[in-house]
């Protein structure tokens, strides 16, 4: 990638992007605590993942280069399954290891925030490994506030992991309703 001006933002689809998203997920699983998974995901996992996004009306926003190669993606989904949480979502953003530090994360997050506003959501929640300073800094730059930390919530790579919750409260929806 030469510059952000050459990046195009697209709605990711299973057929076009599942394998590239799978590769990004699996690199994060194997080499980081960005995902608290132990084992690589499979193509079947991606079918279910995309089906859940479609069923919930949740976006998967991709950043692609001039050749259509996926550089990173961002999405959100159900925060908790109970109806009163309908205006809250848990989001994630992943950038391919070869394209980190080039400004893609913030732009993907800004696009995701725009989508949340357009869908009349109210709270975006990032669940971040507390040692992931880069992700925490990204969220703080975008006005997310620390909403709490759960100590020793996960165990990976032979150590206990703390998980930090960061939230952004949006001015939407304009007319929230119960039920």
Is 26 among the domain residues?
A: yes
**Hey, how many other C-beta atoms are within 10 angstroms of the C-beta on 5?**
5
Arithmetic mean of pLDDT, 24-42:
96
Number of domains, the chain: 1
Is 179 among the domain residues?
A: no
| Dihedral pair phi/psi, residue 100, rounded to 5° | -70, 155
For residue 101, what are the domain limits?
4-169
Is 177 among the domain residues?
A: no
Q: What's the pTM value of the predicted model, to 2 decimals?
A: 0.93
Arithmetic mean of pLDDT, 94-118:
96
pLDDT at 128 over 80: yes
Is 37 among the domain residues?
A: yes
Give pLDDT, residue 4.
78
Arithmetic mean of pLDDT, 28-44:
96
* Share of the chain residues as helix, strand and coil, in percent rounded to the nearest 5: 35, 30, 30
Is 111 among the domain residues?
A: yes
**Which CATH number characterizes residue 65's domain?**
3.40.630.30
First-last CA distance in the chain: 46
| Dihedral pair phi/psi, residue 81, rounded to 5° | -80, -10
Arithmetic mean of pLDDT, 145-161:
98
Is 178 among the domain residues?
A: no
Where does the pLDDT of residue 46 fall: very low under 50, low under 70, confident under 90, or very high at 90 and above? very high
Give pLDDT, residue 103.
92
Is 21 among the domain residues?
A: yes
Arithmetic mean of pLDDT, 162-168:
98
Is 140 among the domain residues?
A: yes
């Amino acid at each position: 990638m030469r510059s952000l001006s050459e990046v195009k933002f697209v709605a990711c689809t299973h057929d076009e992007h599942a394998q590239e998203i799978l590769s990004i997920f699996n690199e994060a699983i194997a080499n980081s605590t960005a995902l608290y998974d132990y084992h690589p995901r499979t193509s079947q996992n991606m079918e279910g993942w995309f089906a859940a996004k479609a069923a919930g009306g949740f976006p998967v926003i991709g950043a692609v280069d001039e050749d259509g190669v996926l550089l990173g993606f961002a999405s959100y989904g159900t925060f908790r399954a109970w109806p009163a949480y309908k205006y809250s979502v848990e989001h994630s953003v992943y950038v391919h290891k070869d394209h980190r530090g080039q400004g893609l994360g913030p732009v993907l997050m800004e696009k995701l925030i725009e989508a949340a506003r357009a869908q009349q959501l109210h709270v975006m929640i990032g669940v971040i490994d507390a040692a992931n300073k880069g992700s925490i800094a990204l969220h703080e730059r975008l006005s997310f506030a620390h909403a709490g930390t759960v100590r020793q919530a996960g165990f990976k790579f032979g150590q206990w992991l703390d998980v930090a919750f960061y939230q952004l409260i949006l001015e939407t929806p304009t007319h929230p309703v119960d039920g």
